[in-house]
Structure 1
């Protein structure tokens, strides 16, 4: 029996009973004795019930407000489709819960800003699962930026590219549900980690071009089949973010692009003193025409999802650890919106 001095576990509820909720959120929460998963909600009740059975969760719901009212969670994970992030986060905050939300924060910067303000008003933690910034590689490069290893970084290149990697499941090809394609799905991850390493410099201008050439003509790739007739997102987007300090960030992202590699997920940084690639972390410079390695990390790092979840929970419990917070989530959402706007209008978007 728990003693009177032992605090009760924090109660956790999960919204969305899909793969990321299963493999990341529930799997992490199950490792902690100071947390108890008490409820799961999904628009498909049978899926919520199956999820609850797998993870020994008492309550399975189809109605969000009923779940929040009956289960009374302290923490909520939002793992629903992008279109519903705003609604679900706002409801959880209104119920007095701390929230971990999958990316992207929302569908628009206006929604992300309302979420930020609601979390501040409620005095609750709102974090986003931009897990790549929690890789050891990202931490090493961020420290190198802070200690001046690179000097001024004036060119950054972020790539999230697939040759033919259109997701054959879920709503990833549906713009009305997702808000976009590869930019808002995989490109946003490399955008966030690049901005994190750089220290979120102020942005002056954004320019972008997008293309839809392959997703509406092909139907099968490395992640299964999709319907080209209902493919409404971009195949690829290429953008340039200009910073107020004079530097630039090039972002290239695709679901389908005729490149040699099957997939590229990486960021490179070029500074006046040294350069680096992120995954795995390598820092180098040139001495007399010869490459000189300053730092090299070759180990695979598969724990970034775990570190992201762990940082959120530790932050909820009062530890001053880094999280992908609501302020930075808003900045990333603003950049995504500006990239899409520029690609649609073929004009630069001024942000300062």
Structure 2
């Protein structure tokens, strides 16, 4: 396969620190030809720093000047839909940052257009690529867990409201802790449940700490401008009597500074991530099995590689457009049921 020509849309930190370095490590498969951002001076500076030939502040000008095969969409949440749709209409494969979109209808339209155009649409849920989660999925596939029937999915920060960017702006972000943090751990949990739509959703959301202010561990935020949820708790019930208990927070008065974890309960064994362990019965005795030799991996590189592999027709575990549409539908339903 000849070199794929890539363009970056969104000239911020995520592009600079995550996606461009990953693409550079795949230089035998991909060449970055252009970057497009709102501030042309900053965009040109980024392009010069990374040796990227094209710098633009208009996406259609970029497509008219460069023949682009794939786009990495690193824009704010409220721009995911617009730029992904433009890229697909211009015949590009797209790897979009999470969350998929602002609404379920947008995510569905994106997935449908990708299918119509015969292009790969994928989302950057890179936590799928951790050694722990890959091993968990292998244990499930091999039948070691038995029937997985309940999952506790937690992404909880004690006082981790970002003091920068637009994370507390509902108009730009679409929400708070759920749409920024919760989607990561929900994606992993849904991956253990065959990515089905739940038949029942219950939940609650809160903004006590966000609206009050206080000590921040990720910079100080303005409580007056805080208009999203700082914590969300939801219970999802699926066909076949299966369930997910989802907990996520920007700010919660808990002991730990941060908890990112899955607790998986199966008929033969249970499992916990971070660090990964199995909890089962061996030779008639209860057993806890640990895996001390798992190696850390570059999850962004692995997810970008999975995207390139998907373009070439290989089977990968990346979150594709259809799963993204399911996830966005669930997120929207949680906001409708539990929203402030």
1:15 corresponds to which residue? 9
Whole-Å separation in 2 of the counterparts to 1:151 and 1:162: 32
What is residue 189 of structure 2 aligned with on the other side? 194
Cα deviation for residue 216 of structure 1 reads 1.6
TM (norm. structure 2) is 0.95
In 2, are the aligned partners of 1:82 and 1:179 still within 8 Å (CA)? yes
RMSD: 1.8
Post-superposition CA distance 1:137-169 (Å, at most 9, x none): 111111211222122222210000000001111
Matches within 5 A, 1:24-173: 24-31=18-25, 32-173=27-168
**1:215 partner SS:** helix
More off after superposition, 298-307 vs 22-31: 298-307
Structure 2 unaligned blocks of 5 or more: none
From the superposition, tell whether residues 291 and 20 of structure 1 become closer, same or farther in structure 2 (CA, over 3 Å): farther
Deviates more, 1:171-180 or 1:46-55: 46-55
- State the aligned residue count: 339
Match of 1:309 in 2: 304
What secondary structure is seen at the aligned counterpart in 2 of 1:222? coil
Matched, 1:233 2:228: yes
For 1:13-37, what per-residue CA distance to the aligned partner results, in whole angstroms no more than 9, with x for missing partners? Answer: 0001112111221001111222111
Q: For residues 298 and 334 of structure 1, do their structure 2 counterparts lie closer, same or farther at Cα, with a shift above 3 Å needed? A: farther
Partner of 2:328: 333
SS in 2 for 1:225: coil
Map 1:217-296 → 2, pairs under 5 A: 217-218=212-213, 220-286=215-281, 291-296=286-291
Compared CA separation, residues 73 and 220, structure 1 to 2 (3 A): farther
User: Displacement, 1:297?
Assistant: 4.4
TM (norm. structure 1) is 0.92
Q: Distance between the aligned counterparts of 2:286 and 2:41, measured in 1? A: 57
Note the alpha carbon deviations across 1:285-342, whole angstroms, 9 max, x for none. Answer: 2579974124524645242221111000111122222321001111111111111111
Structure 1 residue runs of 5 or longer lacking an equivalent are 1-6, 346-352
- What is the CA distance between 1:60 and its match in structure 2? 1.0
- How far apart are 1:133 and its partner, in Å? 1.1
Further displaced range: 293-302 or 107-116? 293-302
